[in-house]
Amino acid sequence: MADFNFVFRDYSEEESKIYEKAIKEIIQNIKDGMSFRDAVDSVYVEDKELKAFIEDDALKILIAELCYVSKIPFEELANMLKIPLDTIRTANREMLEDIALTLNNTFNKKKGGNA
């Protein structure tokens, strides 16, 4: 995890609305048969940094829902989304690192000073 650069971002109310709307549109576009790239590219977000977070999160959401919940193999998801398998694997690794970091931060906050 030494090379892992996790970025926390606090969204404004407006950014949160843009984020939620874009995620929903991307997911719907994929359900309608678009490739991942086309689904992301079809959603306009002026802020390029926010758009990058949305793209990253959308892929992680798809991995969580389709691979972990629906048990679709990574290879099948990569074919469905028309993206390289390595992209799925990298996003999955990052997602698991995100989860580990969140759990560690949560545990450390609850740990208190009685040690």
pLDDT at 8 (0 to 100)? 58
The band of 5, judged by pLDDT with boundaries at 50, 70 and 90, is: very low
Q: Tell me the pTM.
A: 0.82
- Over residues 68-96, the mean pLDDT reads 97
- Over residues 47-62, the mean pLDDT reads 96
The secondary structure of the chain as a DSSP string is -TT------PPPHHHHHHHHHHHHHHHHHHHTT--HHHHHHTS--S-HHHHHHHHHHHHHHHIIIIIIIS---HHHHHHHHTS-HHHHHHHHHHHHHHHHHHHHHHHHHHSTT--
| Mean model confidence pLDDT for the chain | 89
Q: Is the pLDDT of residue 94 over 70?
A: yes
